Amino acid sequence: MTMVKKNTLSELAIFGGKSLLDRPRSTSNLVQPDFQKFMGYSKTFFDAHHYTNNGPNVKLVEQRLATFHQSEYCITFSSGFWAIALAISALALKGKTEIIMPSLTYRRMPDIAAWLNLKPHFCDVDAATLAMSAATVTPCINENTALILGVHPIVNCCDVDGLVAIAAERSIPLLFDSVESVYEFTAGGKVGSFGNAEAFSLHACKLLNGFGGGYVTTNDARLAEQLTLLRGFGFRGADNVVVPGGMNAKLNEMHAAMALASLDGVDDQVARNRRRYVCYKRLLADLSGIRLLEFNELERPAYKNIVVELLDDWPLSRVDTVSILNAEKMLARAYYSPPLHHKARSFAQTPAGLPVTERLAEKFLSLPCGHFVSDDDIADIVGILGFIHVNGKQINERLHENGVT
Ligand SMILES: Cc1ncc(COP(=O)(O)O)c(C=O)c1O
């Protein structure tokens, strides 16, 4: 049982009380690798005066990530965004216009399509996994389909085998956005080795912190070469443009140094993430009306994200629950909200309707996690949720009487 530290409604920060946490705790991972390791890798490029353009750390991190993901090639980029965009530009079927992607996902995904003059075609998700699957993608395939973007959700993996099978059967290129499944294995093998290619992020909020950055893994030598050219202006040699559409999307050496230090510490990080997850699981078990999304142990999860479902008997709306937690400096967030098809976008396609996404859109939220969240913070967070659970009716009345939210 958690200790309830607030006894009256007025003690809630949203009603003017003091925030329970002294500093904000967010849903960003913000993992800090060993500083000396980071300095060691940094010294290598600093001493070599090689700061960018395929320096020693970029070469090393690409080798090590290819090995980690059991893929032939790894190509790094300045961000996950450009890793995905350039991989799509290389893979999408020419003359076709649509990328199939889930609506319940990362909010900038349609912008990636827009940069490429392609249209997102939003598919539904499976109610049990919150992920796209062969069954939800199949109705979206048509004569305009240029590529399937298989996006893993925040907890556990999408239907990798099903997507690989449908893409092969219909001869459609398949790129995975595996930003949230870096560490995982599926029944068929290590994430990073599927489809035409897989894309990842090295943003500070992800499992591997490179301050920022991204990478693509693939077993296709031609694609690897094309992506290497595209990220570096399309140059081969000094000023010889051999592919159009190139840009400067290279990872620099300092970011590669941080990514290497993160990779060195990833197993220790996962052990710490697991401790936090087990702590949430133990404390939330006593609370009805809220369900923790459990990790699939068979996939060797990284336990990074904590997502809960507000069940029908939870007394407050998600927006009010998030507002109360945020006032306590607990930066919980609505899960992928709003779904992408809710935003008017003249270029997007959602012809089939998305009943599961609609039904689930308001139910899930991410709770604070990552490097700076302690067991005591988790006890405080679950304590506030417990207080909401017991006093929901009165909180609701007071919130809406006063027009606070
Ligand atoms: C699922 C997903 N894909 C892609 C990205 C883009 O990665 P980056 O921030 O490195 O551009 C993100 C970033 O949060 C993401 O969550």
Q: pLDDT tens digit string along 162-218?
A: 999 999 999 999 999 999 999 999 999 999 999 999 999 999 999 999 999 999 999
Of the listed ranges 296-300, 350-354, 386-390, the least confidently predicted one is: 350-354
**CB of 179 closer than 6 angstroms to any ligand 1 atom:** yes
Closest atom, ligand 1, to C-alpha of 177: 3
Q: Which tokens is 385 given?
A: 């949720």
* Probe residue for ligand 1, chosen from 27, 88, 179 as the CB with the greatest number of ligand atoms within 8 Å: 179
Does position 1 have pLDDT exceeding 60, yes or no?
Answer: no
* Probe residue for ligand 1, chosen from 26, 30, 78, 81 as the CB with the greatest number of ligand atoms within 8 Å: 81
**CB of 180 closer than 6 angstroms to any ligand 1 atom:** yes
**CB of 184 closer than 6 angstroms to any ligand 1 atom:** no
**370's torsion region: left (phi>0), alpha (psi -120 to 50) or beta?**
left
Ligand 1 centroid from CA 384, angstroms:
30
Q: How many CB atoms lie within 10 A of CB 281?
A: 13
Q: How is the chain split into domains, by residue range? A: 9-31+266-402, 35-264
Does position 403 have pLDDT exceeding 70, yes or no?
Answer: no
**What pLDDT is recorded for position 151?**
98
b/e map 134-151, b = 16+ CB within 10 Å: bebbeebbeeebbbbbbb
**CB of 192 closer than 6 angstroms to any ligand 1 atom:** no
pTM (2 d.p.): 0.96
**What pLDDT is recorded for position 228?**
97
- Residue 349 contacts by C-beta under 8 Å, 6 or more apart in sequence? 98, 119, 120, 121, 122
The CATH code for residues 35-264 is: 3.40.640.10
**What pLDDT is recorded for position 84?**
98
**CB of 198 closer than 6 angstroms to any ligand 1 atom:** no
Mean pLDDT computed over 359-380: 97
Residue with the smallest CA separation from ligand 1 atom 8 is 80
**CB of 80 closer than 6 angstroms to any ligand 1 atom:** yes
Residue with the smallest CA separation from ligand 1 atom 10 is 80
Ligand 1 centroid from CA 212, angstroms:
10
* Probe residue for ligand 1, chosen from 115, 201, 207, 255 as the CB with the greatest number of ligand atoms within 8 Å: 201
- In angstroms, the Cα distances linking 217 to 19, 70, 205, 326 are 44, 9, 20, 37
Closest atom, ligand 1, to C-alpha of 152: 1
Q: What percent of the chain has pLDDT over 70?
A: 96
Mean pLDDT computed over 337-342: 92
Q: What confidence tens digit (pLDDT) does each residue in 52-71 have?
A: 999 999 999 999 999 999 99
Ligand 1 centroid from CA 81, angstroms:
6
**What pLDDT is recorded for position 317?**
97
Q: How confident is the model at residue 405 (pLDDT cuts 50, 70, 90)?
A: low
Q: How confident is the model at residue 5 (pLDDT cuts 50, 70, 90)?
A: confident
**What pLDDT is recorded for position 64?**
98
Q: What confidence tens digit (pLDDT) does each residue in 97-134 have?
A: 999 999 999 999 999 999 999 999 999 999 999 999 99
What mean pLDDT value characterizes the chain? 95
Closest atom, ligand 1, to C-alpha of 213: 10
**What pLDDT is recorded for position 346?**
65
**CB of 253 closer than 6 angstroms to any ligand 1 atom:** no
Mean pLDDT computed over 288-293: 97
What is the chain's alpha carbon radius of gyration, rounded to the nearest angstrom?
22
**What pLDDT is recorded for position 350?**
66
Domain at 9-31+266-402: CATH architecture: Alpha-Beta Complex (3.90)
Q: How confident is the model at residue 374 (pLDDT cuts 50, 70, 90)?
A: very high
Does position 2 have pLDDT exceeding 90, yes or no?
Answer: no
